[in-house]
Amino acid sequence: MTETYRTGGCQCGAVRFRIHGQLGRPSICHCRMCQKQFGGFFSALVTAPKGGVEWTRAQPSYFQSSVNIDRGFCKNCGTPMTYRHPGGLEIAVGTFDDRSDLAPQVQVNHAARLPWVETIFDQPVHDDPDYYSRQEAIISFQHPDHETDQWPSQGLKI
């Protein structure tokens, strides 16, 4: 029997992980701490299997955001990566190499959501064909969405 696993990591590639086993329920959290950690409207997290996370390249650094919660991030690029609590570990959906099947199944702390978050996808779509061709000219230092033996830290500024 072949074991299935999933991979992912931070934007710069300094922190990478492999998850063995079945992921739990993907969720969106609207709490203020998640908004601040992710610098966004909410967080998108999925429960990691207990004992199933292997850090294959470095590990996140942690900030204790409350009595029982530590929030993990890459100390090099700042990517928010984990939400660690007494019951386990949640991994940021955006850090997975393949996120296609991690659609959130529940929203938590819904009462704390920003009042306009319900309508953000009702807004007009910016559809400029030249925009994407200009983006292709950018030289990216972002780690690709797959495993690599090494990854240069060209974007790292210390």
**Do residues 77 and 14 lie in contact, with contact meaning Cβ atoms separated by under 8 Å?**
yes
Q: What is the pTM of this model?
A: 0.86
| Amino acid letter for position 121 | F
pLDDT at 155 exceeding the cut of 70: no
Q: What confidence tier does 153 reach under pLDDT thresholds 50, 70, 90?
A: low
Identity of residue 25: R
Q: What average pLDDT is seen over the chain?
A: 90
pLDDT tens, position by position, 11-64: 999 999 999 999 999 999 999 999 999 999 999 999 999 999 999 999 999 999
Amino acid at 64: Q
CA 116 – CA 125 distance, rounded (Å): 17
Confidence of residue 1 (pLDDT cuts 50, 70, 90): very low
User: Strands 16-20, 53-57: parallel, antiparallel or unpaired by DSSP?
Assistant: antiparallel
Q: Exposed, middle or buried by CB within 10 Å (0-12, 13-18, 19+), for 140?
A: exposed
Task: Please report, as a single letter, which amino acid is at residue 124.
Answer: P
Q: How many residues does the chain have?
A: 158
Using a pLDDT cut of 90, give the percent of the chain over it.
Answer: 75
C-alpha closest to that of 99 among 5, 1, 7 = 7
- Beta sheet of 26-29, edge-to-edge order: 61-64, 70-73, 80-85, 88-92, 43-47, 26-29, 106-108
Handedness of CA 91, 94, 97, 101 (dihedral sign): positive
